[in-house]
A and B are shown apart, each in its own frame.
Chain A
Amino acid sequence: MAVPEAAPRKHMGDYDVIVIGGGIIGAMIARQLSKLKGRFALLEKESFGGFGVSKASLSQIHLPDFCPPGTLKGKLVREAPTRFKKLAAELDVLYREVDELWLALDPAQVNNLEAARARAESHGATGFEIISPQRIHELEPQVTPKAVAGLYARGLGVIYTPEWNFALIENAVENGVQLHLQTEVIDIAKTRDGTLRLTTGQGTLTASYVINAAGLYADEIARMAGDAHLQLSLRKGTMLIFDKSVSYAVRHMIFGSFSESHSQNIAPTAHGNLILGVHYVKTDNKTDSRVSREAIQQTLKLGRELVPALSEKDMITSFSGILAQPNMSRDGDFYIAPSENAPGVIHVMVGAPGLSAAPATAEYVVQLLGDAGWRTEEKANFNPRRRGWPRFETASIAKKKQMIGADSKYGHVLCRCEQVTEAEILQSIRRGAHTMDAVKHLTRAGMGRCQGGFCTPFVLKHLADTLGIPPTRVTKSGPGSHQILKITKAVAGNE
């Protein structure tokens, strides 16, 4: 991106380690670093962390049955559910256990299931069993009668990635990490004394070590570090969300077939909807979030092959995300390694299942920092616990009464579909959700069947009031995405 000539060049601080990218990987690394002594910064180019690849994730926590033997990613994914469960308790975020059911729809596919079990076992995962059609229908009555066999595994999970992303960053910041939002790195240089100097749109920073966790833009950061050979191949995936009224139809994380152009998958979400995916097309455009009619139809088709009762009329929204796969590893493995050309820079380029691997990836990165010569030392006063704010919709009646007693605004429901109260919306804004999308993804206001039809004006007003800005300055997702363009003639005339 071109730098305006008059760009401010203020110095923003000197750090031991700077993490570039506030997505789920960067947030997990920042939080891991915050357990240690040192000066750390997390840089995010958008107004809020986790709104790139991470937001468009399926938000599933896998076992290593997708990871070829001997791969790094298999090693990092092996204990994913256990790690996520522990983190969920520490960070007060949602984690919902879901079991896996991988279906073979014709006899030829049974080999795939056996291969998957072998892959999982090669990484030390146990408990995978091949089950009969009868057993499949006991577990999941709505799946297609064509299923001839299933691979069954227990104890996987689903989360809501934006919520985790926010909680991880909040906890990292509480433990001393400096967060710089809307700070896009535009250059990395080596100074004479060996430190790294980062130029951003906001100013400069220095660090002994730089972690490149820039997700979709990790190749561009790599290029700044002199590693232009590190590239990403991109695929755009389209996913659909279904109304909660059909959630009865799927209780497992169900898989079918896989190819370059699809991953057949339908599963419950952490919030109790169904998510269906994924139809892929190759792309070279990182900002291509366009959903095509063709992709919606293809995705629906994938879903109906697994669960014939799925209907287009129960779909509440569709979205696309870009999956970035590093080119430097075999077997679709991650590329997590020190730069060959810029000592002190560590590249963290993951693909699927990057989310599942994130906690172990963060530990691995700290280990690489140690290998690179940085003395890691735990700090005594790290506080692993972060408290969210209670959610009204899912609370028991007794808890609801208690919540309203403590804060009467819990009695004022603003989002009718997801029963999100004014108290939750105000909390999210006070704690850093400064756009319509941030409020939506942290509180779920606007994520239900009416998709914000009724609550949008309320959220807009609360954002303007709480942030002390005119409503015309409120954005959907950061600069340029203004929600309303001006005030009406009548109101303007009165002012």
Chain B
Amino acid sequence: MTTIRNLDLAIIGSGPAGLAAAVKAKQLGIKDLVVFERDERPGGILPQCIHNGFGLQKFKEELTGPEYANRYIQMAQAHSVDIELDSTVLEIDPNRNLTAVSEYSGLRNYHCRSIILAMGCRERPRGAIGIPGTRPAGVFTAGQAQRLVNIEGYMPGENIVIQGSGDVGMIMARRLTLEGAKVKAVTEIQPYTSGLIRNEVQCLHDFDIPLMLRHTVAEIHGDKRVEGVTVVEVDTDWNPIDGTEKLIACDTLLLSVGLIPENELSKLAGVSLDPQTGGAYVNEVLETRVPGIFSCGNVLHVNDYVDEVSNQGEIAARGAFYRIKNRMPAREMRISIAGDQTVGQVVPQTISGELPVTFYIRVKRPMQKMALRIGEIFEKKIPYARPSEMIQVRLSKKSFSQMEPSTTRLKVSCED
């Protein structure tokens, strides 16, 4: 016979989103909750992020990744949060039934009144971007290398080229340099880095690591182990420019070419996804279009700062609380939020207009002295914006009172 355990709230993932959601949920009085974590330790990706810069907003100090995680782990312990480690959630369905498995407890079934998705994201692998060439050992994603160096104590290589200037890639350029490796180049296909300016300065420029903008790896060489890569300059359509090929000898290629919200479980539950963010369509309390299922952190959309990830965990916990207590605003999905062609992505995609809202917006291309508008109710001048820096706008419940009561759509736009 199958035993089914009832839960008020299941949280999938114990990274900065999941732990913050758990702590907030406990504070709101949700007692019967379980956090599922597939790794052997809580914290998600944070334990391998040993650099500092975490927590400036939430804790007003610069913490390392493990320190930031520990703050939340301690809060979770203080609130007696039940974290099931080494536990993989195999399935969830639209009725919020959940199946999890672990070595110690076997296969277990749950029925949950609410579920918070906090699975984070994964890295885009080599195959997905189709880098031509041979298939030797020595090609890693930046996050893989980060785990190898910082958790396992292994050096992936000694002479390194990094394709892509995502934050993890730039951080690993510095980390590997500190470990004695030679980072020969960071190539970026766009004319600007795809991570934060802070990382470009502190991880690349401060260490004299060559940054090759408008360049990409055109080919990988080496039969057994990477022996080198050909890098090439690209035109504005990212097509290689003939005659600009340059061979760089190296034993390792790291890839930092994008993060993808890991929504495989969400799809099983029938959660519909926004092609712009790769994450769920949500309302202002981060409820997906499947009632009772919430999404937050990097599984919702890839964030720049961990503090934001935790904030979203807290918002989702509040949403779950409303759902469990039957206190969700009556007109929950009344107004749709639509970015125009200047907007790369915007979250949430619908709002009720009856609760405060935090909007997360990315511009499509770098812009200067632009005006950001949300319908008729908000306007702000922003001196400089680029896709890799997320813009946040917090609006109080009161801001929506200026709207026509019949409003069903708010346009988000950015103008130079």
A282 interfacial contact with B, CB 8 Å? no
Size bracket, chain A contacts: 35 or more
Q: Chain B residues near A417 (CB, 8 Å)? A: 264
Residue of A nearest to B130 (CB): A296
Shortest Cβ gap from B123 to chain A (Å):
5
A-B pairs with beta carbons under 8 A, tally: 151
**CB-CB < 8 A to B149: which residues of A?**
488
Question: Please, what's the 1-or-0 string for A459-475, where 1 marks a CB less than 8 Å from any CB in chain B?
Answer: 01100000000011001
- Flag whether A404 is at the interface (Cβ < 8 A): yes
The residue from A290, A476, A479 contacting B132, defined by CB atoms under 8 A apart: A290
Contact B128 A485 (CB under 8 A): no
Instruction: Please state if B154 and A404 are interface contacts (CB–CB under 8 Å).
Output: no
Whether A296 touches B223, Cβ cut-off 8 Å, given contacts A404-B106, A485-B157, A488-B149, is: no
A364: interface (CB < 8 Å): no
User: Is the beta-carbon distance between A482 and B135 smaller than 8 angstroms?
Assistant: no
B353 at the interface (CB under 8 A from A): no
Q: Is the interface of B mostly helix, strand, loop or mixed?
A: mixed
Chain B interface extent, by class: 35 or more
- Verify B155–A412 contact, CB threshold 8 A: no
List the one stretch of A121-129, A136-144, A323-331, A449-457 in contact with chain B.
A449-457
Rounded to whole angstroms, the CA-CA distance of A245 and B264 in the bound complex is 9
**Complex-state Cα separation, A409 to B106, whole angstroms:** 9
Do residues B141 and A453 form an inter-chain contact, with CB atoms below 8 A? yes
Q: Are A416 and B104 in contact (CB under 8 A)?
A: no
Given A404-B101, A413-B38, A489-B180: A453 in contact with B125 (beta carbons within 8 A)? yes
Q: Cβ of A481 and Cβ of B133 under 8 Å apart?
A: no
Contact of B154 with A484 in the complex, beta carbons under 8 Å = yes
B152 and A485 form a contact (CB under 8 A): no
Interface check A75, CB cutoff 8 A: no
A482 CB to closest chain B CB (Å) equals: 6
| Stretch of A19-27, A173-181, A313-321, A376-384 contacting B (4+ beta carbons < 8 Å) | A313-321
- Docked-complex contact A416 and B88, CB < 8 angstroms: yes
Interface assignment of A401: CB less than 8 Å from any CB of chain B = yes
Question: Are B137 and A291 in contact (CB-based, < 8 A)?
Answer: no
Choose from A287, A291, A449 the contact partner of B223 (Cβ within 8 Å). A287
A residues with a Cβ closer than 8 A to B are 241, 245, 287, 289-293, 295-296, 312-313, 315-319, 397, 400-401, 404-405, 408-409, 411-413, 416-417, 419, 422, 436, 449-454, 456-457, 460-461, 471-472, 475-491
Chain B residues, CB < 8 A from A412: 86, 102-103
Q: Are A413 and B144 in touch, CB under 8 angstroms?
A: no
Decide: A457 and B137 in contact? CB cutoff 8 A.
no
Complex interface residues of chain B between 90 and 111 (CB less than 8 A to chain A): 90, 99, 101-107
Q: Mark each residue of chain B from 143 to 169: 1 if its CB lies under 8 Å from any CB of chain A, else 0.
A: 110011101111111100000000000
Residue pair B155, A316 in contact (C-beta under 8 Å): no
CB distance from A427 to the nearest CB of B (A): 15
By the criterion CB–CB under 8 Å, are B155 and A485 in contact?
yes
Which one of B101, B138, B225, B267 lies within 8 Å of A413 (CB-CB)? B101
